[in-house]
Structure 1
């Protein structure tokens, strides 16, 4: 009887041990499987051929990383900054995110929310000027893919029909405005609901009047301020253009993201638009047949001003960074390297008209080569105010510029308001 009981106990113990081993084996197998499967999130704002270049880059990355999936999330340009700020503040940021560098990225860096990439990317692969906006205290926090310039795009056929030539001076530009208006053509197309498209005009006017060092002195607090006479005159010129009827009715309420300004150009209801070189890729995506009519020139000089029509407004975009809170920082960093590889840059340059921030890219597209040469020959590049300035100061700049366009504030009041905020944030 005792032997029988002992035998039953032995069987129970054996079954228990085997069951535990199976359970451990199963648990180990599940853990290994989940460990081999990782998802990385990528937030970006690219569209058209630019987005396709990123998609191809992601496909190459996934093919070389078994079990890794990249979730690409395209955000709308205008709400993007707010959405990422909320995600960062809430502790749920994407693994890899788009930025423009400058003060906007720096605020996340200062908060410890961005991974230091100094030892993880080969900075010799990039143009030095393209690395600058993402470098703080000699440490790098982002890898650049492309650079932008902002010319004046125009309808070449329309100019030819009206006997117009590319202007070199502001007075010549005003003559073009009057000619187009007299022929029932809107001189400039502008959708300024999001404020930054109108900022291009103000930046150019201020630089052409005050010269290349104007912004640097105001930003570094070592000379002229944002209330300098050059900024006041820039506001006066801006309002002069508004009063001339250079822009569409209701332009301060028009939406850039939905293409309202571009459609006026495509429909030949407007003759010019001040936009970045992304206009070329967007046109190829929106209305490729219009490309043959598309020409560009740099914003003209102003008589008596210190700036030159060889000076350009521009920036670096996209810059890709890694969130410090990413659970897959190493993989995310590898993705950044693929997103900003020469192969990605080459595709972007020749399909989307992007000027590469990556060295040794060859331009098959003669149009893009021409744009690249403009950047290479430029005497000075003014980076975008709203990306270079701290966010709270950038917002005041954008708000006051939109108010100048709306004729609801004076140039003196606008300049004073920006300078007062600069004293709070920069000193």
Structure 2
């Protein structure tokens, strides 16, 4: 029989050991005994889109007892850099936002993203929405929403001047001339951040070179970024610039502060090439202008290989799981909640987003029209600055802005992008 002092010491040792075990279990994320597991989620959504994600997280936590999700909304502009630093430092979030394409692929190639092919039901998503996150037949991200870039225009203005939605580029040029002759800026453009001008370059290149042009250049199989179609795209941009189809000082105008939209609202400009987010932005900026807002797809160019059934667009958000996550399966379940039909339905009806998820019903007739365009599209060219590796995307944006500013020839711009592509992609 133990003496009292020895007996008390034995109990103390047992209590201390049990405490250490509990502490170790908690640090390892063991949810037993009331301890909780924590997942981290990084995203860049704002407004009603952010609310939809927060509601999805609440559902996830309610259905996963003992699991907490730390949601961190990152600022859009520094997000790419911040995630790259976290990935490189081995401290990424469990689940993160991306756009697919080359930006996600660089993390995939570095072994930093989990293959979730077996974790998600790919049949619930639109194929065009899945493809930006598919590499070598495997899936590394689940999509929630999609964007398209049409040409928005003032319907009342078109009616006043007897203009109709163009089917061909020559018809679009006639509209440009008519608006100019009435002291109206044909295309409103704020190109300080460079990506708004990229829409024109992508459309012109596709209309000349066809749907496979970019894929050939990107995959280094066939035509390159110095192909004649890219040179012609640059020539068309400069023709518009020389025609004064854009507002004065457009390369220094700030898109984020609404400088291009304000010209449209004030009826000083007739058209703008922008994503479908233009609808939601207009409803926030100037709701009464919505009844004047119409859209058409960028027209075909005679002799070109592309058509107005081919659209420029993107997928965002796409949610992926970090390979470094210690709770990969749980993180993949969160991805499923973030991108299920319930989340997509809420996003569509509160934020006017086009769903990447099948079966969503749209209460908003306007959004339904845009969704129909996407469903009927024959090809979607994803945004260059999101699809290309960052260093190549930067050269594309810089040279495109220079084309608009008439400070670089189309041949020089194409040559510079191709040289960088050889360095980065081969």
Q: How much has 1:264 moved relative to structure 2? A: 3.3
Alignment-derived partner of residue 393 in structure 1: 392
Alignment-derived partner of residue 314 in structure 1: 313
Alignment-derived partner of residue 85 in structure 1: 84
Q: Distance in 1 between matches of 2:149 and 2:244?
A: 22
Alignment-derived partner of residue 131 in structure 1: 130
Secondary structure, in 3 states, of the residue corresponding to 1:118?
Answer: coil
Secondary structure, in 3 states, of the residue corresponding to 2:332?
Answer: helix
Structure 2: gaps spanning 5 or more residues = none
Which aligned runs of 4 or more in structure 1 are off by greater than 6 angstroms? none
2:166–2:172: 8 Å Cα contact kept in structure 1?
yes
Q: How much has 1:141 moved relative to structure 2? A: 0.6
Q: Distance in 2 between matches of 1:56 and 1:284?
A: 23
Secondary structure, in 3 states, of the residue corresponding to 1:306?
Answer: coil
Farther-moved stretch of structure 1 (30-39 vs 306-315): 30-39
Kindly tell me: are residues 172 and 77 of structure 1, through their superposed partners in 2, closer, same or farther at Cα, counting changes over 3 Å?
farther
Alignment-derived partner of residue 280 in structure 2: 281
1:297 corresponds to 2:290: no
1:238 corresponds to 2:237: yes
| Residue of structure 1 aligned with 2:9, choices 5, 8, 16 | 16
Kindly tell me: are residues 424 and 126 of structure 1, through their superposed partners in 2, closer, same or farther at Cα, counting changes over 3 Å?
same
Kindly tell me: are residues 166 and 304 of structure 1, through their superposed partners in 2, closer, same or farther at Cα, counting changes over 3 Å?
same
1:84–1:93: 8 Å Cα contact kept in structure 2?
yes
Alignment-derived partner of residue 268 in structure 1: 267
Kindly tell me: are residues 353 and 396 of structure 1, through their superposed partners in 2, closer, same or farther at Cα, counting changes over 3 Å?
same
Kindly tell me: are residues 149 and 65 of structure 1, through their superposed partners in 2, closer, same or farther at Cα, counting changes over 3 Å?
same
Kindly tell me: are residues 410 and 279 of structure 1, through their superposed partners in 2, closer, same or farther at Cα, counting changes over 3 Å?
same
Q: Distance in 2 between matches of 1:346 and 1:79?
A: 29
2:141–2:321: 8 Å Cα contact kept in structure 1?
yes
Q: Distance in 1 between matches of 2:253 and 2:46?
A: 20
1:76–1:257: 8 Å Cα contact kept in structure 2?
no
Alignment-derived partner of residue 327 in structure 2: 328
Alignment-derived partner of residue 340 in structure 1: 339
Kindly tell me: are residues 78 and 270 of structure 1, through their superposed partners in 2, closer, same or farther at Cα, counting changes over 3 Å?
farther
2:128–2:380: 8 Å Cα contact kept in structure 1?
no
Q: Distance in 2 between matches of 1:298 and 1:226?
A: 24
Q: How much has 1:148 moved relative to structure 2? A: 1.8
Q: Distance in 1 between matches of 2:77 and 2:151?
A: 22
The Cα offsets for residues 47-100 of structure 1, whole Å up to 9 and x where unpaired, read as 222222212212211222234332322233333222221221122222211111
The Cα offsets for residues 102-144 of structure 1, whole Å up to 9 and x where unpaired, read as 1111100011111111111111221222221111121111011
Alignment-derived partner of residue 246 in structure 2: 247
Q: Distance in 1 between matches of 2:109 and 2:12?
A: 53
Alignment-derived partner of residue 52 in structure 2: 53
Secondary structure, in 3 states, of the residue corresponding to 1:321?
Answer: strand
1:107-186 → structure 2 map (5 Å cutoff):
107-186=106-185
TM-score, normalised by the number of residues in structure 2: 0.91
Kindly tell me: are residues 281 and 306 of structure 1, through their superposed partners in 2, closer, same or farther at Cα, counting changes over 3 Å?
same
Q: Distance in 1 between matches of 2:320 and 2:146?
A: 16
Alignment-derived partner of residue 214 in structure 1: 213
Q: How much has 1:229 moved relative to structure 2? A: 1.8
Q: Distance in 1 between matches of 2:183 and 2:73?
A: 38
Kindly tell me: are residues 162 and 332 of structure 1, through their superposed partners in 2, closer, same or farther at Cα, counting changes over 3 Å?
same
Larger Rg: 1
Q: Distance in 2 between matches of 1:78 and 1:151?
A: 24
TM-score, normalised by the number of residues in structure 1: 0.90
Structure 1: gaps spanning 5 or more residues = 1-6
Farther-moved stretch of structure 1 (235-244 vs 33-42): 33-42
Alignment-derived partner of residue 74 in structure 1: 73
